[in-house]
Amino acid sequence: MSVIDTSCIVIFGASGDLTQRMLIPALYHLYVDQKLPKSFAILGVSRSIYSDQAFRSKLIKNIKSDKKINEELLNKFCEHLFYQAINTSDVNDYTLLKKRISRINADRELKNNTLFYLATPPSLYSVIPEHLAAVGLNEETDGWKRLVVEKPFGSDLKSAVSLDESLYRHFQEQQIYRIDHYLGKETVQNMLVLRFANSIFEPLWNGRYIDYVEVTGAEALGVEQRGGYYDGSGAMRDMLQNHLLQVIAMVAMEPPAVINAKSMRDEVVKVLQCLKPLSQDDLENNLVLGQYIQSQVRGKCLPAYREEEGVPNNSRTETYVGLKLFINNWRWDGVPFYLRTGKRLPTRVTEVVIHFKKTPHPVFSADAPENKLIIRIQPDEGIMLGFGLKEPGAGFDAKEVAMDFHYSDLKETELLTAYERLLLDLLKGDATLFARSDAVRACWDFVQPILDYQKKSFPLHGYASGTWGPIEAEKLLNRDNHEWRFPCKNLTDTDYCEL
């Protein structure tokens, strides 16, 4: 097992939402679980002026919203938190930062291992690394230096390539960690164990036995306070280009020789490079873009996307994407993968459904249930296998029954959140669950025709908030005699049933 070195975690964008809501609570939980090294420091960096103490008090508020808080441990954890105000765009301020890091390293007897976490707006992703390099904070002569880049990694293929180029001027690929928090989810990783540690699934995991695959990333919330960011991004860049394509890679990749960063990421990139390029016909017929409109849901009026704060009232940004894609390789030839993601859908659920082909000859009745495997990523994390069983009584009719497993039934462990898992891996220097440059490019390469298509006039379908998206998305499957599953919060409820 990799050991965690003593290290200083420098978080740029320390007064931002990601730091407060995700990173610091995740580090606190790791600390409580004794997963962090004895000696470590967290240095928050941003423009706003705070003393160490004021920074600690600001962060504590968020951690305290967690009911299971241990005051004594929280106070001890806070002793590891520090703050430095700098103008991150001004190279001259980095000398100050370097001095502060050296002082913390000396006081805490850290070994100059430094993790630079860019939790900032993307406009700073190339600026900060360049300024770090200007004062030698990219050099690994006295300890490792790692750079963590949050999504979005670029906004299209060209900008992703140019961001890579600018990072490579100062950091090497093995120092760069591109985060996609979906890869930190226990249930996404479990897809690999399910597939490659069980001999009953893998022989069936191909186009000979699988009819089609659904991937759903549904959210009940709208864009909340992020309208300004979201309008320039849309569901395509916000969810599909990264999270959903990474999920597809886990479902479709070939088995790696071993589980390590190179082997795993080689397989991931291989399958992403096999995504069948989208033709004009695909763009016109296999893609559905939608935007939520106002509706009454459970007695509450939910505003249209165009009425959200920060969104122009003539916006044509998609809050829903439905897409049918294919993977051009031996395993998946001819198997449609249907993806959908959207805001303001009826519930929050992320899942993969593998639909197996029907038996070749219908012995019992023509409408015997299909076999399907539901891999529930969130919530109610688990797996359910649906299959046909004899309807008790006279005759030989088959009815659908299920075998299910819920992670919540496992007593021995609490699942690490995605950020906890990924922060631990960062400190260990394990890049297995981080996107490599070629994989990020392959994803942009695949979605680029959609981004180009959206620059011209394209159909954008309205859907009422609280529904499963535009009717066109249903037609996308119905045309092929397939259907979306309408999942509930609970894995075992087989159809959407929240009232």
- Active-site option among 29, 80, 170, 243: 243
Smallest distance, ligand BG6 to C-beta of residue 240, A? 11
To the nearest 10 degrees (0 to 180), the angle between helices 24-32 and 52-64 is 80
Smallest distance, ligand BG6 to C-beta of residue 216, A? 11
Give me the 126-155 binding string for ligand BG6, x by CB under 6 A, dash otherwise. -------------------------x----
Scanning 274-396, the segments in alpha helix (DSSP H) are 280-285
Q: What number of other Cβ atoms are within 10 A of residue 467's Cβ?
A: 18
Beta bridge partners of 321: 289, 341
Cα(first)–Cα(last) distance of the chain, in Å?
A: 48
Report how far residue 158's alpha carbon sits from residue 4's, in angstroms, rounded to the nearest whole number.
36
Report how far residue 43's alpha carbon sits from residue 80's, in angstroms, rounded to the nearest whole number.
8
Smallest distance, ligand BG6 to C-beta of residue 341, A? 9
Residue in the block written with tokens 């440059």 = 437
CB-nearer residue toward ligand BG6: 238 or 318: 238
| Total count of residues recorded for the chain | 499
Q: What number of other Cβ atoms are within 10 A of residue 233's Cβ?
A: 18
Single-letter amino acid, residue 398: A
The angle formed by the CA atoms of residues 104, 47 and 11, to the nearest 5 degrees, is: 45
Tell me which of 214, 219, 380, 420 binds ligand BG6, using CB under 6 A: 219
CB-nearer residue toward ligand BG6: 74 or 215: 215
Residues 237-266 that bind ligand BG6 (CB under 6 A): 238
Whether 390 has a binding-site annotation, put simply, is no
Q: Whose CB is nearest to ligand BG6?
A: 238
Give me the 347-386 binding string for ligand BG6, x by CB under 6 A, dash otherwise. ---x------------------------------------
Whether 281 has a binding-site annotation, put simply, is no
By the 8 A CB rule, do 304 and 292 touch?
A: yes
Smallest distance, ligand BG6 to C-beta of residue 96, A? 32
Residue in the block written with tokens 């989810």 = 185
CB-nearer residue toward ligand BG6: 282 or 425: 425
CB-nearer residue toward ligand BG6: 74 or 289: 289
> Is residue 461 annotated as a catalytic residue, yes or no?
no
Smallest distance, ligand BG6 to C-beta of residue 456, A? 26
For residue 187, give both structure tokens: 């249930």
Report how far residue 138's alpha carbon sits from residue 185's, in angstroms, rounded to the nearest whole number.
29
Number of residues that bind ligand BG6 (CB under 6 A): 4
Task: Tell how strand 349-356 and strand 337-342 pair up.
Answer: unpaired
Whether 262 has a binding-site annotation, put simply, is no
Smallest distance, ligand BG6 to C-beta of residue 57, A? 28
For residue 213, give both structure tokens: 């695959």
CB-nearer residue toward ligand BG6: 248 or 327: 248
Whether 456 has a binding-site annotation, put simply, is no
Q: Which of 26, 383, 341, 33 is nearest to 179 (CA)?
A: 26
Residues that bind ligand BG6 (CB under 6 A): 151, 219, 238, 350
Annotated binding site: 47, 151, 181, 185, 219, 238, 343
Could you give the residue numbers annotated as active site?
243
Annotated binding site for NADP(+): 47, 151
Annotated binding site for substrate: 181, 185, 219, 238, 343
